[in-house]
Structure 1
Amino acid sequence: MSDSSGHLHMPIHMIDLIRKKRDRGVLSEAEIGFLVCGAAGESIPLEQLSAWLMAAWLNGLELDEIRALTVAMRDSGAKFDPSRLGKVAVDKHSTGGVGDKTSFLVAPIAAACGVAVPMISGRALGHTGGTLDKLEAIPAYRTALTLEEFEAVLQKCGASIVSQTPALVPADRVLYALRDRTGTVESPGLICASILSKKLAAGLNALVLDVKTGSGAFLRKREDTEYLAALMVATAEAAGTRTVALMTDMGQPLGAMAGNWIELAECVGLMRGNRPVESEDLRELSLILAGWMIHLGGQAETPEAGYARAEGAIVDGSALRIFLEMIAAQGGDVLAFDDAHFHKPGATRVVEALETGFISSMDTTMLGWAVQRLGAGREKAGEPVDPHAGIHFHARRGAFVEKGQPLATLYATREAMLAEPESLLKRAIVFSATKPETVPLVSRIFTQDDAEIYLRNAVR
C-alpha cells in the first residue's frame, strides 16, 4: 500500500509493537492509533494488549506517546458536546484513594454555583473504591446512560455522574479493565491517558485534578506523583482544556467512611450540615476542589472566592437539593437516605486498639485492600460488590487512643470475610508515644506554567 507520493506504508502488526516497547522503543502516532483502534474494536487479542501494557509499565512511555495515546483513546468512540448546555463545562477527577468520595460533594456544589459538571467515572481499581460502584449502592440508580440521557440530566440538574458507555472511549474501557487484572495500574503514562481520554471525551472546558500522595496513592514516590500531576496538566492543556492539579494527602483514608453506601451517607450528612470531626478533611478538600471548579468555570474571580461560594451552597442546601435531583433523574431512590434501616451489612465487627498511644501513621493501601476484601471491591472484572461492606474509622492519624478503644467498625458480606480485613487493619495502623507532625491536605498546585517548567526539568 502506498500514498500519493509513492511512499510504501508497511502493515502494522501487534507483535511488533509489543517487541518494540519491550525493547524500550518509542511507538509512532500511527502505531499508537493502530493499538487503540484494535482495543476499541476488540480485534487485538487480550493477551497481546496485556503484554503491551506490561512492557509500557516496565519501560515507561515518552511524552509524545502519552499525548498520542490520550488523543487516540479520546477519539476511539463517540464524544459528548456540552455546548448546548449554555454553561462552562468543568469536571474533577481523582487519581484514586481510600474513602475518596469528593465527587458526590463537588459535582452538586459546582452545579449549584452555575457550572455544568458532566462527570464520567470509573469502577473500583486495585485497592481504591469506584465512584460508580458507590452510586449503584443507591437502589435503581442508573450509571449507564446514553449521551442523550446524559445531556437531559445535565440540562435539568447541572450535574450528572455516569459510566463510560460502549460508544464512549471504548478503548479505555478495555484497557482499564486489563490494567486492573494484570498489575499495570501504577504507570504515570497509562494513568494519564486513561483519565484524560474520558475527561476530554466529555468536551470539558476545564478540569480540576486531585492527585493523591502518601501511603494510599497508586504512585508512592513523591517525584512520581509530581510528574503525573504535571504530565496530566500539560497533556490536557495541549488538548485545549484549562487544567489545574492539586496534590492532596492520602496518608490516611479521606473522611470517616470507606466502602460504598456508607461513603454516600457520609456525604449526604455533610450536605445536610453535619460537621463530625472525623469528616472535616473530606469537607475541607471538597470545598477547595469545588472552589477551583467554580473559578475555572468563570463563576468566581479566584479559587478562594470559589471556596466561599462552595461553602454557601452547602449552607443554603442547594448542593443537597441538586444531588438528590440528580439521583432521582437517573432512576435512584432518594428515600434510602432517610431510611435508618437501609444499611444492613451481613456481618459487623468492632476492632479495638491493641495499645495506648498516638496513631502515628497508616498504610492506607493496606486499609484499601481490607475494604476490598470485606466485599466492597472486586478481584475480577464484572464481579458484584456488596453495597453495605466497608469500614467506619473512629480514630484518625494524630489521635491519642487508649488500649481497648474502638478503632474501626468493619462491615462485611458475611462473618467468614472479617478475619483477614481485621488483620490487615491492625497491621496498617502504627502507634507511637509522640504525636506525629501534621500533614498538609494540599501540598502543591500545578497550573499550566508550573507543569511545563516541571516537565522541562524532570529527569525520567
Structure 2
Amino acid sequence: MSKRAVSPLHMIDLIRKKRDGGALDPREIGFIVAATAGESIPLEQLSAWLMAAWLNGLTIEETGALAVAMRDSGEKFDPSRLGKQAVDKHSTGGVGDKTSFLVAPLAAACGVAVPMISGRALGHTGGTLDKLDSIPGFRSALTLAEFEAVLQQCGAAIVSQTPTLVPADRVLYALRDRTGTVESPGLICASILSKKLAAGLNALVLDVKTGSGAFLRERADEEFLAALMVVTAEAAGTRTVALMTDMGEPLGRTAGNWIEVAECVELLRGEMPADNADLRELSLRLAGWMIHLGGRTQTAEQGYWAAAGALADGTALKLFFEMVKAQGGDLTVFDDLKGSHKPGATLVLKAWRSGYVAAMDTTELGWAVQRLGAGREKAGEPVDAHAGIEFHARRGARVEEGQPFATLYATNEAMLSEPVDRIKRAITFSDEPPEEIPLVSHIFARENAEKYLRETTSSS
C-alpha cells in the first residue's frame, strides 16, 4: 500500500483557518515558522495571521508548537562546555525594568552561568539592548563563539539574537510591534521561550508583570500567561518558575536608557537609596531563584542571601564590569555617572497639586519615556541614550504642590510637551495614602501552573 500523499500547505488557507477560530497543528505551525525564517511569506500575509492569532488566541498546544518551531528555526547555543548550570531570567516587559543588569552578575557571582539573550524596546517598554547601547563600545551582537567566550570568562553575557539564532522570532517580534499584536499570551510566550530554549538553558526564572504597566492589563490574563510559560518551558525540558511582580509604578526611580544603567551601577556599588528599594529587593529575589534552580542552594531563600552577599562584598559589581569590558564596553563611562549623562534638553516637572500619589498609569508613563526619545515607533529607528525620566515621588508618597515630581530628559526641547501631558494624565492623587501592593504576588512552578491551566481551560 502506498502512503497517503500529504497535501501541500498554503498560507492563505492557514490565515482563514485561524481567522475562523480553528487551531493549527504542529505541521502547519512549522510551515509558517520555516517560511518566516526564510522570508518567503509576504509581510501582509504574516501580519494577517498575527492579527487572527491575536483576536482568537492560540491554544496551549499551538503555543508549545510555535515556541519549539521558532527555537528550531536556526542555530542553537550549547552551554554544556561551560561546566555550570545555565540559568536565565526574563521579564515580560515593564517601565524602568532594569533587573537584568543586576541579576546576571549576582547569579553568575554565585556559580551559575547566565547566557542572556535580550531584546530591544517593544511598545511602551524599554529594551535591555537599547540600554546597554548607551555604554560606549558595548557589543551585544556577538557570534555564538564570542558568546561562549564571554561566558567562560565572566559567567554572564547579555547579547542580541544572532542572524542565525531564532531568525523566525526576529521577524515576528518586529512585526508584532508594528501591527498592534503585542498583547497576546500565546505570542508573548512563544517569542520569549523560543529565545530562551535556543540558549540551551537548564533553568529559567520568569518575571511576569502585573498592574497598569503590564502588556496584559487583566489579572486573569497575566496569571494565564505566567502558567502558560511555565508549562510550555517545562514541557521542553527547562525547569522554570514564574514570579508575578508589580508594575503598578516604574521599577526603581529611573526609566530610560543610560539613566537605568547608572542606577544599577549605583546599587552594585552598595548605595541603597529608599527610592529604589523595590529594584534591589526584586533583583535579589529573582537572582535567588536563579541560584536555587541552578543547584547552588537548596532553597530560593538561601539563594536570595547568597545574592545579597555577592552584592555586599562587591563581587557582582566586579563581574558586571568584567562582562561589559569583555563585550567591548568602555569602563571609563562609569567613573562619573552624572557627567556621562548628556541629554539634549532637561525639564523639572513640579507637582501640580498636593496629596498622596495614589496610583500611576505605568503604561502611559512608558509612552512618555518613549516620546522623549528613549524608545522607537518603528523597528530599526535609533533611540536616544540619554532620554528618559527620573521620578522624585513614588506611589504612596506625599507631595506638596510645587515640589519636584520628575525630571524629564529629552532629545530636544520640542519633545518635552507631550510627555508632560502624559505624566499628568497618568498620576492620580488622593487625600489618603493608598494601600500597599506586594512586590511579588504569586509564584507559579510546574505543579500549580498545570493545575491552573487545567482549571482555566476546562471552565472556559
Q: TM-score, normalised by structure 1?
A: 0.99
Q: Which residue of 2 aligns with 1:248?
A: 245
User: How many residues align structurally?
Assistant: 457
Q: Secondary structure at the match of 2:323?
A: helix
Give 1:112 shift.
0.2
Q: Which moved more, 1:7-16 or 1:434-443?
A: 7-16
**Aligned-partner SS, 1:50:** helix
**Letter matched to residue 122 of structure 2:** L
| 2:193 maps to 1:158 | no
| Whole-angstrom distance in 2 between the partners of 1:5 and 1:296 | 50
1:363 aligns with 2:354: no
Counterpart of 2:326 (choices 329, 336, 339) is 329
Matched with 2:283 is 286
Letter in 2 for 1:203: G
Aligned partner (choices 430, 433, 436) of residue 435 of structure 1: 433
What are the within-5 Å matches in structure 2 for residues 200-279 of structure 1?
200-279=197-276
Match of 1:45 among 26, 29, 42: 42
Aligned equivalent of 1:143: 140
**1:431 alignment partner AA:** F
The residue identity in structure 2 corresponding to 1:158 is G
Within the candidate set 67, 73, 77, 2:74 is matched to 77
Matched letter for residue 126 of structure 2: G
The residue aligned with 1:402 is 400
* 1:119 and 2:116 are equivalent in the alignment: yes
Shift of 1:28: 1.1
Post-superposition, which runs of at least 4 consecutive aligned residues in structure 1 deviate over 3 A? none
User: What is the aligned partner in structure 2 of residue 455 from structure 1?
Assistant: 453
Q: Aligned equivalents of 2:48 and 2:279: distance in 1?
A: 38
Aligned partners of 1:167 and 1:452: how far apart in 2? 33
Q: How far, CA to CA, are the matches of 1:347 and 1:245 in structure 2?
A: 39
Q: Offset of 1:30 from its aligned partner?
A: 0.7
Identity %: 75
Post-superposition offset of 1:160: 0.1
What stretches of structure 1 of length at least 5 have no aligned partner? none
Query: What is the rounded CA distance, in whole Å, between the counterparts of 1:356 and 1:207 in structure 2?
Result: 44
Say whether 1:419 aligns with 2:417: yes
Answer yes or no: is 1:90 the counterpart of 2:83: no
Deviations 1:304-339 (A, max 9, x none): 000000000010100000100000000011110113
Deviation (angstroms), 1:341? 1.9
CA separation in 2, counterparts of 1:452 and 1:197?
Answer: 20
CA offsets, 1:66-92, max 9 Å, x none? 110010000000000000000000000
Distance 1:29 1:283 in 2: 42
1:348 — aligned with what? 346
Partner AA of 2:352 in structure 1: L
Does residue 380 (structure 1) correspond to residue 364 (structure 2)? The answer is no
| 1:36 alignment counterpart | 33
> Separation in 2 of the partners of 1:165 and 1:50?
23
Deviations 1:89-112 (A, max 9, x none): 000000000000000000000000
Offset from partner CA, 1:4-35 (integer Å, 9 cap, x none): 84211111000111000000011111110000
Does residue 187 of structure 1 match 2:190?
A: no
| C-alpha deviation, 1:229, in angstroms | 0.2
Q: Secondary structure at the match of 2:196?
A: helix
2: CA distance between counterparts of 1:121 and 1:47?
27
Counterpart-to-counterpart distance in 2, 1:6 and 1:224: 43
C-alpha distance in structure 2 between counterparts of 1:341 and 1:221, whole Å: 41
SS of equivalent to 1:425: helix
- Name the SS of the counterpart of 2:406 in structure 1: strand
Q: Which amino acid aligns with 1:97?
A: G
Matched residue SS, 1:431: strand
